[in-house]
Every structure is written in C-alpha cells, then in structure tokens.
Structure 1
Amino acid sequence: MAKSALDKDLKKVGSLEEATLALSRSIAAPGLALVFLIAVFLFMMGLAPAGPLSLFVIAGGVIAGYMALNIGANDVANNMGPAVGSRALPLGAALVIAAICEAAGAILAGGDVVTTISRNIIVPHTEFPVRDFVMLMMASFLAAAIWIHLATFLNAPVSTTHSIVGGVLGAGIAAAGLSIVNWTTMGAIAASWVISPVMGGVIAAALLGFIKWRVLFREDRLAAAQTWVPVMIGLMAGVFAMYLSLKGLSKVWKPSMETVWLLGIGAFILGTLGTRPLIRRRTPQLENRRKHVASLFTIPLIFAAALLSFAHGANDVANAVGPLAAIVAAAESNHAATGNVALPLWVLLIGAMGISLGLALFGPRLIRTVGAKITKMDAPRAYCVALAAAITVLVASALGLPVSSTHIAIGGIFGVGFLREMLANLGLNADGAKKAPKPKASEPSSLSSTPEDAIRKQAKRERRRLVRRRHVITIAAAWVVTVPAAGLLAGLFYWLMKIVAGS
C-alpha cells in the first residue's frame, strides 16, 4: 500500500514537472520578445532627437522592433520551409543559417535609402502636417505588424509588403480621403495577387517536370544525373548570381543589365563545369534508386535557401524599418518625408536583430506548415521551389510586374504539389511507369458493368489529393484579406492617435 501511494505521488510530481516545463516554454518566447522591445525602447530613448516629435520617434522605434519580429516569424518561413520539409536541413540548423544570412543581408547589403510611404501608395500634398504624417506612418506600421502577427498565429504566410501597403492605404484615406491614393500603383499590386503565385507555381512545376522526365523517370538514373544535375546546379548558380546582383547587393553594387547577364552566363558555365566532376565522383557511391539520386540536390538546396535568406534580408529589412527611417527624417527636418530617406546603420541593426529573433522564437511553427503541411517535400521539389522563386523575381523585374516573394514561394510549393497530384492521378508511380488500377477483391461485381467501367470506377476511387485543400483555402483567403484588413486597422489606429494627440 505504501509503495502504491508513493508511486502515485511520484507520478503526480512528474506530471507537475512536465506541466511546469511546458508552461515555461510557452512563455519563454513572448518573454524574450518583450525583453527585445524594452531594449529597443531604451535604445531609442537615447537616440530620439529633441523636439515635439521625440515621443513619436521612440514609439516608432518600438513598433519597428515589433514589425521586425513578425517579419522574421512569418516571411522567412518561405525560404527555409521547403528545405526543412524535405529534411535537407534540420530545423535548428535552418534557423541558424537563416538568422545569420538574414542579418548579413540586412546589415551588409540593405539599401542606403528607402522610398517612403511604401512605393508611392499615397501622395500627400506639400502642406501635409508633419505630425499627421508621422502618425500616419505609425498607424500603418502598427496595423501591418498586428496583421502579420495574427496571420502567423493562424499559420498563414502573408506578404509583409502587402501588409504595409494596406496599412499605408488605410491610414492615408483616414488622414486625407480617397484622393490621396495612387490608384494606378494599387491596381498593379492587386494584379500581383494572381501574377505572383501563378508564375511561381508554373515555373516550379516546369522545373520539377524537367527533373522527373530527364533524371528520375529514367531507367539509368545515375547516368542521367551525371548529365543533368550539373546543368541544374549551373542554372541555380547563374540565376542566383543575377538575383543577388539585382536584388541582394544594391547597397554595395549596382551593375548594368549587360553586366548582370554576363555574370549570370559566367556563373552558369562555371557552376555546370565545376560540379560535373563532383557529381561523377559521387554517383558510383549511390544506388540507382530515386531516393539516392534525389540526395544529389540536398547541398544545392541548402545554398539556395541561404542565398534566398540573404537577399530577403537585404530587400525586406526596409519593410521592417523603412517607416521608422521616414519618421526620424520627418522629426529631424520638420517636414513630411515624401521622397527617399536614408537608412542609418542603427535602424538597420534594429531590423536585422528583430528579424533574426522573430525567426528563432516564432518561426518554427510556420516553417513546418510551409515545408510539410501543404504537400510533401523532398530535395528535388524543394530545390525547384527555391530556384523558381529566384527565376520568377528576375522575370517579373524584367517585365516590370509587381510580385510578392511570399506569394511566389507558396505558389511554387502549390505548383510542385499539384504536379505530383496530377501524375499520381494519371496512374504514374515514382519511377514514371504506368500502374494499372487493381480492383478490390471485396467489391461485389455488377452484371451490368463492363471491365472498362470497373477500371474507371476504381481509378476514380484511387484519385489522390497530394495538396491539402484546407491550406489552399486558408492561405488564399489570408492573401485576399491582407490589404483591406491592414487598411481598416491602420485607419482605426490613426483616428485613435489623433484623439489621443488632441487634434
């Protein structure tokens, strides 16, 4: 009896310890985020310029830190999710690589200047009061951050750029009415809701189809891999050389288009010729199986994910701290910052640290959703998504089309998923061979049915859905709602700030 009572007491203590540990883990991430925001507050206290707008600058710094945390939690998952879902990278290693590359991109290659008011979404008149401008930027900034936070909680990857666009749009309309909006730019942004995911999905599916038919569906996969895997790696090298020169290194280098093309062609040739002997040395160690051949894409995938994170940090740090730079510039000059404003190093540091910390604290959940819950990933599929993201941005830039990196990456995941689904429903197995449907032995035969009818019914029953439809609906709905939701929040925050400010 005593032993039984002791066992029960020990179990209770063990359960209590487990509950305490789970509770401490659940509050650790918000606690660290709060510590970061307090540190930003204290930092801004010492840097805020003296004057009537100093409190707005301090508040803007805290909002910038909060925005950076949410960008890290939501946006970075698009780059690392496929690599983690394919098991090319464990989650911990992906978080470390992404944090380093995001911070390096933001600090080393983040832009010297940023276009205020989110790419001329609104055009305020010259007499627009500077305090109203500052409150407009704060309201739009805070609304975008809260919306991204909510989307992350709902496991929905959304565009941070579109969130800010919606916030600026809503606050601008609240401040000065519909006439302040640049509707031409808004129309182009609305078009990108369709352009971005469709382009990303089509290109990713085309790349995966090429790999399947030229390598994975071949009888001698190893020989095919020796021919085509170096070409695919060379293509990645060329595309990312162009991508980084155009999008990721704007602060340190601004080459001409001729130079960009020469750089891409040179990187393609070097990448192809340089990796061909490496692939030839490795293939004799592999079996002529799909899984073994697919492993050849693992290392290129890791490099692709790291380069995407670097370019994302260089480009999207402006989304985190651009409005803060505009607020600081307005406070120092006492004029609404309607042109380009400088991005000081300390502003970039707030963005870089916030993005990295947000990724580490809150990113894993969305990384798992992007990498595994939409469709199953392996190294070739994830590689195609990463390469498609870079190609789509380059093509869209050349055509002058506005696209979202978030929408492109998610569209690429859907693209490879729907291609897999289509091939499965056509009856093709992993080797690309046609498999005949097997009638179920337990199914009663019908005298009026022909063998062809039975095959069709069996094929219909075996139709597979390899893309989870509920994620399609959730993500698409979040994309459509992003601009109006952020806009409504921003308009509300602007009016509240006006009331609190007593004007």
Structure 2
Amino acid sequence: MILTLLFISACFLAYSNGANDNFKGVATLFGSGTTNFKKAINWATVTTLSGSVAAIFLANELVKNFSGKGLVPDDLITVPIFAISIAFGAALTVFIATKIGMPISTTHSLVGALFGAGVVAVGSQFNFDKLLDKFLVPLIVSPLMAAVVSLIAYLIFRFLRKQFGVTKSTTLNIHEEQSLSVASLQMDNAASLKSSTTIKATIENEIETYEGQILGLNSQKVLDTLHYISAGIVSFARGLNDTPKIVGLLVIINAIDIKISMIIIAIVIALGGLVNAKKVGITMSKKITPMNSGQGFTANLITGLLVTTASFHGMPVSTTHVSVGSIFGIGTATKKANYKMISKILLSWLLTLPMAAIVSGLLYKLLETLT
C-alpha cells in the first residue's frame, strides 16, 4: 500500500511538472508568432521526452541530489513516507500554480518539500548548510544570471544583424469579421438582416520579421530554423534536468529499477504537458513581454545553454527561473517588459517554497502517526 502511494505521488508530481513546465521551452516560438500552439506543444513533447530518456545515461548526479542524501540522516532516506511527503507536497504546489497559470519551479517545490518533511522528521539534524549551498544558491542566482546574459546576448546579436544589413519589418495579421445588422422590421415581427464584412488589423496581431540575407541565405528562414532548434534544446535540457529529480524519489527505496522509473516518469511528464499546459503557456508566451523571432531565439538559446551546463554539473537549477529570467532580460533590453506580470510571477516563486514545505511537513506527520 505504501509503495503504491509512493508511485502515485511520483506520477502526480511528474504530471504536474509536465503541465507547468513543458511549454516553457517553446513559449517564444508561440509568443513570437513563429508557430501556433499545437505545433509548439508537439515539438516540446518530442524534445522533452528525448531529454528524459537521455537522463538515464547523463544525469545520475541529480538523482542522488534529490533523494535527500546529505540533507537528512541516511536512515530516513529509505523511509517510504518521507519520499511520499516530498513528492505529494511538491506536486500539489505545482498543480495549483498550473491551474492559475503561474509558471513556478518544480525544483523549487521539491526543495521546499524536502525542507518541510526533513525538518518535521529530524529537526536540528537537517543539513541547512547543504540546502543553502547545493539548492537555494543556484535557484536564486540562475534567473539573475539568465536575465543578464540574455540581455547582453541580444545586444550582441542586434549589432551583428545590423552589420549584416538585415532589417526588421512589421507584418499585420489581418483577419475578417462578419457582422449582422437589422435593416428593417416588418409588421409580422420578421426582421431582414444585412451582412457586412469588416477587415481588422490590430497591434496585438502584428508580427515582426527580418529582411535580408546571411551568407546568401534568407535571414528569416535561417532564424526560424535556429529558433526551433533552440526551443528543442531548452525542452531537451528540461527533460534532462527534471526527470532525475522525480526519479530520485522512487529509487531511494529500491522499489523500481532506475531505467524503468525514468521511462515511466518521462511518459507521464509528456502527458501532463499535452493535457494541461495552455494556461502557463499563455503567461510565458504573451504576458511577460512581446517578442519577435530573433528575440525569442536569443532567450531560448541562453536558457538551453545554462540549463544543460547545470545538468552536467549536477546543479539543480530551475528551467522555469532560467527561462523567465531570459525572457525578462529580452524585455528589459527592448523596454517592453511587463513588470506587473513579473511581480506576480516573483510572488508565486516566493510562496512556492513555504507552501510545499507546509504540505509535505503536515503529510509526513500524518503518515507517521498512521503508520
């Protein structure tokens, strides 16, 4: 029964993770008008799943980190109710955020849940120094680093674009609207209707494209290709970075083989993204800053490089924090950042850790009492 509950909790966390995180890698593809939502989420699913599978061979260090090893005494790590509390506390936090469209960090939620269940279980024996050094510092530094690096990268790319003679142009997405108006009213209450067609082109529907050539190739086609690749890199990196964190909760009690665990979690993450990603996707794509394909490419490139580098070094950075930081860096450079939305996102980040800690701590106490 306990092992079944652990498996369900881990799958709940994987589903919530996919729903909140999967679209983040392709948010700039959709936000810049490079592609539509359906194509973007399909590309995210394929590349995230690839990263999850690659994690079997490349990310064993993260599995160790998120088992709680070094934060709490070794004998607590193998207690199933400890892992259940962590998984459920983090999962519920991420799921609620997904429902209200807030892009929060599964990594951050896991850290909060580790803290909550760990402190309730062992009190002062909890390793606060390692929590700060191994987990909190990378989570705090990564979005700031991403914002600064993406801002600098954008300025460099803009300079190079001008050197190549590539110019920007604005295309309005024109659409038709049908309207009906009452032309006359007869004695028998029958109304004759007149149909008219209105052509509309609004600022919200404008799409910036690039004109010119780079090394003899159409600049916009080159950019769109690179943008798709960069979005794939981000999604791949997310699968590589996040899957081991969830698997770490299953393998600590040797209930399931690590490779089988990776495959199951990878599939559930993909499912969560396909079913429940739209609200967070809209926030990431449309509400932080307007962007064109070049700006989106820059944000994705920086996010992918930072998250992939962190994965290989066993650093549990948040793809969410890095991605939002990169997009915000672009918005700062273009002076179009939505500071009100950024403030809401930052508030949700501040609430993530305490909420996950409270839920996991209370659940651990409840399960300890019942067992």
1:401/1:66 CA distance change after superposition, 3 Å: closer
Q: Where does 1:97-496 land on structure 2 (aligned, <5 Å)? A: 97-111=43-57, 113=60, 114-115=63-64, 117-118=66-67, 120=69, 122-126=71-75, 128=76, 130=78, 133-216=79-162, 220-221=165-166, 279-283=214-218, 293-294=219-220, 296-327=222-253, 329=254, 343-345=258-260, 347-393=261-307, 403-421=317-335, 466-496=336-366
Distance 1:312 1:87 in 2: 23
- Length-normalised TM-score, structure 1: 0.59
Post-superposition offset of 1:371: 1.2
Correspondence list, 1:70-81, <5 A: 70-81=16-27
Contact 2:67 2:77 in 1 (8 A): no
SS in 2 for 1:75: helix
Contact 1:167 1:486 in 2 (8 A): yes
When normalised by structure 2's length, the TM-score is 0.79
Aligned length: 324
Structure whose residues are more often strand by fraction: 2
Conservation of the 8 A alpha-carbon contact between 2:98 and 2:280: yes
* CA distance in structure 1 between the partners assigned to 2:331 and 2:133 by the alignment: 30
Aligned mates of 1:485, 1:167 — CA distance in 2: 8
| Superposed displacement of residue 282, structure 1 | 3.1
Deviations 1:261-303 (A, max 9, x none): xxxxxxxxxxxxxxxxx944434xxxxxxxxx55531111101
Letter in 1 for 2:71: I
The one-letter code matched in structure 1 to 2:64 is T
- 1:110 and 1:315 in contact (8 A); partners too: no
Provide the rounded CA distance (Å) in 2 between the counterparts of 1:480 and 1:119: 22
Q: Quick one: which amino acid aligns to residue 344 of structure 2?
A: T
Q: 1:86 aligns with which of 19, 24, 32?
A: 32
Q: 1:416: how far off?
A: 0.4
Letter in 1 for 2:23: A
Opposite residue 252 of structure 2, the aligned amino acid is A
Q: Which amino acid aligns with 1:387?
A: L
Q: Assess, with a 3 A threshold, how the Cα gap between structure 1 residues 396 and 66 changes in structure 2: closer, same or farther.
A: closer
> d(CA) in 1 for partners of 2:305 and 2:130?
26
Contact kept, 8 Å, 2:77 with 2:83, in 1: the verdict is: no
Instruction: Indicate how the Cα distance of structure 1 residues 356 and 117 shifts in structure 2: closer, same or farther if over 3 A, else same.
Output: closer
Shift of 1:196: 0.9
CA contact (8 A) 1:205 1:416 kept: yes
**2:330 partner SS:** helix
Amino acid at match of 2:131: T
For 2:164 and 2:129, the matched residues in 1 are separated by: 55
Greater relative contact order (Cα < 8 A, sep 6+): 2
Residues 105/188 of structure 1: CA separation in 2 closer, same or farther (3 Å cut): closer
Q: Residue type of the partner of 1:344?
A: K
Deviation for aligned residue 1:188 = 4.6
Deviation, 1:168, is 1.3
The two structures, once aligned, show a CA RMSD in angstroms of 2.7
Structure with the largest fraction of helix: 1
Unpaired runs of 5+ in structure 1? 1-54, 225-277, 284-292, 333-341, 422-465
Inter-CA distance 393–309: structure 2 relative to 1 (3 Å threshold): closer
User: Which residue of structure 2 lines up, in the alignment, with residue 8 of structure 1?
Assistant: none
* CA–CA separation in structure 1 for the residues paired with 2:294 and 2:66: 40
Letter in 1 for 2:229: F
Residues 377 and 352 of structure 1, relative CA distance in 2, 3 Å threshold: same
1:193–1:362 CA distance, 2 compared to 1 (3 A): same
The answer on whether the counterparts of 1:85 and 1:372 sit within 8 Å (CA) in structure 2 is: yes
Per-residue CA distance 1:151-183 (angstroms, 9 max, x = gap):
112222122112111111110111111322342
Give ranges in structure 2 of 5+ residues lacking alignment.
169-212
SS at match of 1:107: helix
- Look up the SS of the partner of 1:88 in the other structure: coil
Distance 1:123 1:467, change over 3 A: same
Tell me if structure 2 keeps the 8 A contact 1:158–1:479.
yes
Structure 1, residues 169-205: CA drift from partner, whole Å, max 9, x if none?
Answer: 1101111113223423324533334311111011111
Percent same amino acid among aligned pairs?
26
